[in-house]
Structure 1
Amino acid sequence: MKAEIATLKNEFTQRLSSTRRGARLARHLAVHRLHTWGIPYGSELSDNAALIVAELAANAVTHGRVAGRDFELRLLLGSDSLRIEVADARGERTPVVAVPSAADSETGRGLLLVEALAADWGTTRRVVGKTVWAELPLS
């Protein structure tokens, strides 16, 4: 974790069902929590965070799903940045940014979006599964 996250102002953690509904709820909870922390709905930071949460949660329920296991959303608001973490139970699949094979493909662009919006992103292993994280600067 970077030094700016070490000066943590706020933290939010929620487990959600590994379903499309759970992924959608993750995005709604994230923007609501950011709003309560003073990052208003519709601001650039809120919108970028919503897109990142949506992509990471969709990947967690699509590629990281393990039957009977939830995924976890964690938001860490530091003095200089917002860290978004989405953890799932499947550790053997590490996300890779790949260019979609067909120009008209409707899938395969999620991590390209995360890479474009985030100042930094990556993965960390957990005892069970993995965490995919992204950081957004507050300014």
Structure 2
Amino acid sequence: MPAAPSPSAFSPVRWEPRIYPGSLDQASRVRTDVRRDLAAFPDSVAADVALAASELFANAVEYTASSGENGEAVRALRLSAPDRLRLEVTDGGFTEARPAIPALTGTDWFTAERHRGLLMVSAIALDWGYFPVYEHPSLNLGLVVWAEFGLDPAQVPSGLDRFIHTR
């Protein structure tokens, strides 16, 4: 694998965002696209980011207007630092709910049929969170839910500019 750029030579890079119809049957396409976009990275990184992308996409479709008529969700990836890969999924808005890990206790986690996706994201990512697309007191234009993944800078492939757009 080619050597990674030195930290002093690093410039942030961003993959072209991908827009998906707001349907749960698109989750496999989200995973496939992430794996393709991260093909030059170690497989463990691509697998973790693909799992998180699938979970965040499913939440966007399940709990927001993304699943409505003509609904969509947007997936973005960026290398924000030499040792950080950031995933973002933007939903279609129109819900009062905010992403949170449910407060299940004891064996409830073992028998729960749903609501474990953010717990998985929390376990595989360095951190996760959300912010509104646009701060406005009466408009809900959606949330951007993000997760950051740690990278060994030596494993970041060189020549990424052939595959992505810098901004």
User: d(CA) in 1 for partners of 2:27 and 2:45?
Assistant: 19
User: d(CA) in 1 for partners of 2:77 and 2:90?
Assistant: 12
User: d(CA) in 1 for partners of 2:103 and 2:45?
Assistant: 26
User: d(CA) in 2 for partners of 1:133 and 1:46?
Assistant: 16
2:115 matched residue in structure 1: 108
- Is the Cα–Cα contact under 8 Å of residues 84 and 133 in structure 1 kept in the other structure? yes
Q: Does 1:98 align with 2:102?
A: yes
RMSD: 1.8
Query: Map of 1:23-102 to 2, 5 A cutoff?
Result: 23-35=27-39, 38-40=40-42, 43-66=43-66, 67=68, 68-78=70-80, 79-90=82-93, 92-100=96-104, 102=108
User: d(CA) in 2 for partners of 1:60 and 1:109?
Assistant: 14
Note the C-alpha offset of 1:110. Answer: 0.5
Alignment-mate amino acid for residue 22 of structure 1: Q
Gaps of 5+ in 1: 1-5
RCO higher in structure (CA 8 A, sep ≥6): 2
1:35-64 CA distance string (max 9 Å, x none): 1xx214xx2111111110111011011112
Note the C-alpha offset of 1:100. Answer: 4.1
Task: Select which of 133, 146, 149 maps to 1:133.
Answer: 146
Matched residue SS, 1:90: coil
Aligned length: 130
Matched residue SS, 2:16: strand
1:121 matched residue in structure 2: 128
TM-score normalised per structure 2: 0.71
Percent of aligned pairs with the same amino acid = 30
Q: Which has the higher strand share?
A: 1
Matched residue SS, 2:64: coil
Moved over 3 A (4+): 99-103
TM-score normalised per structure 1: 0.84
Go from structure 1 to structure 2 and tell me whether the alpha carbon gap of 1:26 and 1:16 turns closer, same or farther (over 3 Å shift).
Answer: same
- Is the Cα–Cα contact under 8 Å of residues 83 and 136 in structure 1 kept in the other structure? yes
